[in-house]
């Protein structure tokens, strides 16, 4: 799910590192496994989780910097019950790093 590759008329081309793209994809896939739909939209919003007719939807703003969207996804994932979901060591490391940032 590469939301940063497409270029619309008048928009800057955004390059994203392969590592960031892999992390973004893994975060989106993990939220989907939890039953949360992930949508990428443009607009005047930061991004985050909302309920639409009892369906959880996580909105990603395409115009946000990649790091902000990754932090938003990590923060949401940290709030979810991950007991039955496989979390890769790399993703688990990012979740632990986020926990450290919040406590500091």
Q: What is the CATH number of the domain that holds 75?
A: 3.30.2010
pLDDT score, position 35: 94
Give the chain's domain count: 1
- Residue 5 within a domain: no
pTM of the model: 0.79
- Residue 1 within a domain: no
- Residue 4 within a domain: no
Q: pLDDT digit of tens for each residue in the chain (104 aa)?
A: 555 554 555 666 667 888 889 999 999 999 999 999 999 998 898 899 999 899 999 999 988 899 999 999 999 999 998 888 898 998 988 888 876 555 54
- Residue 12 within a domain: no
Domain carrying residue 98: 18-103
- Residue 45 within a domain: yes
- Long-range Cβ contact pairs of 45-51 (< 8 A, separation 24 or more): 46/72, 47/72, 48/72, 48/76, 49/76
- Residue 72 within a domain: yes
């Amino acid at each position: 799910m590469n939301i940063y590759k497409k270029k619309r008329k008048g928009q800057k081309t955004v390059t994203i590192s392969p590592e960031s793209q892999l992390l973004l994809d893994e975060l989106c896939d993990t939220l989907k496994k939890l039953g949360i739909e992930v949508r990428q939209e443009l607009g005047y919003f930061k991004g985050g989780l909302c309920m639409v007719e009892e369906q959880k939807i996580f909105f990603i703003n395409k115009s946000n910097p990649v790091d902000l969207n990754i932090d938003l996804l990590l923060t949401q994932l940290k709030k979810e019950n991950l007991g039955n979901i496989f979390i890769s060591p790399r993703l688990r490391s990012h979740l632990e790093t986020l926990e450290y940032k919040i406590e500091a």
